[in-house]
A and B are shown apart, each in its own frame.
Chain A
Amino acid sequence: MTNTPTVSLKNVTKIFNPGQPNEVTALKNINLDIWPHEFVSLVGPSGCGKSTLLRLIADLTQPTEGTVQVNGKSAYRARIEQDYGIVFQSPTLYEWRTVAKNVELPLELMKYGRAERRERARKMLQLVELEGFENHHPWQLSGGMQQRVSIARALAFDPALLLMDEPFGALDEMTRERMNLELQNIWDRTGATIVFVTHSIPEAVFLSNRVVMLSPRPGCIAEIVDIDLPMPRAWEVREDPHYFELVNHLRDTLREIEGGMRE
């Protein structure tokens, strides 16, 4: 089982608008394996292809060259078989649905029975600490709560893979810290594999087993750093000297990349 990676990218290149004047090579020759129950963060300057990489795994866009496999099958099959849940930067809740109904949306599409939908929505909302808000509408919740609903929705059908594109980017610092602890908790309890895009290096180091640094034009992997801090991590890890070392190292890499971009 563990010799099949959850996500496997082989020689993946993504070119937008090939052959046209506005051609962009978003990603070039990416090779990356992500293993079951790993937490992998993608970081790098904006425009380096983080979202594109995530969307390739999600089969929301297709590679120009190379192959993307999820759970040993094509990304397309994995999407059709609902192997992953996805969380966008904006919560993307349907405003005509209550919180519980939003969480139930994927379950409805997957033809779960009504009783089971209710039960799962209730459990998921408990997991993200939103019990009691089942019948609220999205606009009645704060940004952090809305994002938690969208995480509950992504987890509702027990996907083994969770894809998150800057899920906490729009939140204030305090909420963000709380969400980090909560996400680590969820990861621990569900045993899911998580691919997490962020522009915050401290956040990436705090949460991940591995941090993948991308560099732009064309997007490729600049460095992969193993985060060998013990799991689970308490907030105090952020005062650990080794944590600082890792953060500083990644910051140096990022500075080099950004220096290269200016030339």
Chain B
Amino acid sequence: MSRTVWREYMPAIVVAVAALVLWEAAVRGFQIERFLLPAPSAIVTNFIENFERLVHIGWFTTKEALGGFFIGCSLGILAAFITARWVAVNEAILPFAIAANSVPILAFAPIVNNWFGVDNPLSKMIIVAVIVFFPVMINTIRGLTLVDKNALELMHSYAASEVEILWKLRTPNALPYIFNAFKIAAALSMIGAVVSEYFGGNRSALGVFITQEAALFRFENAWSAIIIACIVGITFYLIIVAVERAVIPWYFEQRKAERH
């Protein structure tokens, strides 16, 4: 078990270590100025020194990301299920949802900040929720409608009602799509929260901290904050993968079986 895990992740670890070594060597060898790129060792030292403060501001932004994630995902799934009742409506909505999804919603961040108050975490949650809403809705609609034709005919042969078809066929069919959307949404929600904080916000928010420290030439501080953002993002993603494995184990086992 641990051997296969090791074999699976070893290439990634090797690449990461090699990149860090190269980075450190390049900064030292070419004497790169620290405002351009600090050495990994300098960032790590800074990270350890400021750990408590970083956790504090990291948690502040994580709460915004989580809030936006839950609001956006719930509404996205809800919208998909409501429209899924009418497959034709659903298919008509999809192109609009895809178009809306390509609108750079982050551009609205300063406006939303004004609406709800720059210091109010709610303004960030709303930005995140809107960003997350569309991919979740689109993927859920796809999962509910891209159903095997025979699987659907089988239901018709049993004279199953639309509600029964929704629960016993469309929903299980959509679960892998929904979890995929959650993974996309997890990444987007952290990006959305941090970047909308770039346009102003509470002093103890990650995005605000990064812009201020960078403006004051305290680049190691900014880099440490970025590391915190990365750690949160990756943790978020891994939690979703774990939940996915618990909820739809058949999906993984099947794909594993197909690979062999």
User: Which positions in A face B, CB cutoff 8 Å?
Assistant: 58, 60, 79-82, 84-86, 88, 90, 92, 94-96, 105-106, 108-110, 137, 139-140
Q: A82-B158, A86-B154 are in contact. Are A94 and B254 (CB under 8 A)?
A: no
Q: Which chain B residues in 143-187 approach chain A with CB under 8 Å?
A: 148, 150-151, 153-154, 156-160, 164, 168-169, 172, 175
Q: How far does the alpha carbon of A88 sit from the alpha carbon of B169 in the complex, in Å?
A: 17
Interface assignment of B8: CB less than 8 Å from any CB of chain A? no
Contact between A92 and B158, CB atoms less than 8 A apart: no
Distance from A242 Cβ to chain B, minimum over Cβ atoms (Å): 37
Residue with the highest number of chain A CB atoms closer than 10 Å, among B159, B172, B175: B159
Contact between B257 and A139, CB atoms less than 8 A apart: yes
Residues of B within 8 A of A (CB-CB), count: 22
Residue with the highest number of chain B CB atoms closer than 10 Å, among A80, A81, A88: A88
Q: A88-B150, A96-B248 are in contact. Are A139 and B156 (CB under 8 A)?
A: no
Closest to A85 in B: B157
Contact between B254 and A137, CB atoms less than 8 A apart: yes
Contact between A60 and B156, CB atoms less than 8 A apart: yes
Q: How far does the alpha carbon of A33 sit from the alpha carbon of B151 in the complex, in Å?
A: 29
Q: Please provide the 3 A-B residue pairs with the shortest distance between their CB atoms, ordered closest to farther.
A: A92-B150, A96-B172, A139-B254
Residue with the highest number of chain A CB atoms closer than 10 Å, among B150, B156, B158: B158
Q: Give 24 A-B contacts (CB < 8 Å), ordered by A residue.
A: A58-B157, A60-B156, A60-B157, A79-B156, A79-B157, A82-B159, A85-B157, A86-B154, A94-B168, A94-B172, A95-B250, A95-B251, A96-B172, A96-B175, A96-B248, A96-B250, A96-B251, A109-B159, A109-B164, A110-B158, A137-B253, A137-B254, A139-B253, A140-B257
Interface assignment of B52: CB less than 8 Å from any CB of chain A? no
Interface assignment of B33: CB less than 8 Å from any CB of chain A? no
Q: How far does the alpha carbon of A96 sit from the alpha carbon of B253 in the complex, in Å?
A: 10
Inter-chain contacts of A94 with B (CB < 8 A): 151, 168-169, 172
Q: A92-B148, A94-B169, A96-B250 are in contact. Are A109 and B160 (CB under 8 A)?
A: yes
Residue with the highest number of chain A CB atoms closer than 10 Å, among B154, B175, B258: B154
Distance from B50 Cβ to chain A, minimum over Cβ atoms (Å): 47
Inter-chain contacts of B248 with A (CB < 8 A): 96
Distance from A55 Cβ to chain B, minimum over Cβ atoms (Å): 8
Q: How far does the alpha carbon of A58 sit from the alpha carbon of B258 in the complex, in Å?
A: 33
Distance from B55 Cβ to chain A, minimum over Cβ atoms (Å): 40
Closest to A55 in B: B153
Closest to A81 in B: B159
Distance from B227 Cβ to chain A, minimum over Cβ atoms (Å): 39
Inter-chain contacts of A96 with B (CB < 8 A): 172, 175, 248, 250-251
Q: How far does the alpha carbon of A153 sit from the alpha carbon of B102 in the complex, in Å?
A: 45
Contact between A137 and B157, CB atoms less than 8 A apart: no
Residue with the highest number of chain A CB atoms closer than 10 Å, among B153, B169, B257: B153
Contact between A84 and B250, CB atoms less than 8 A apart: no
Q: A95-B250, A108-B168, A137-B254 are in contact. Are A88 and B153 (CB under 8 A)?
A: yes
Q: A60, A80, A92: which contacts B151 (Cβ < 8 A)?
A: A92
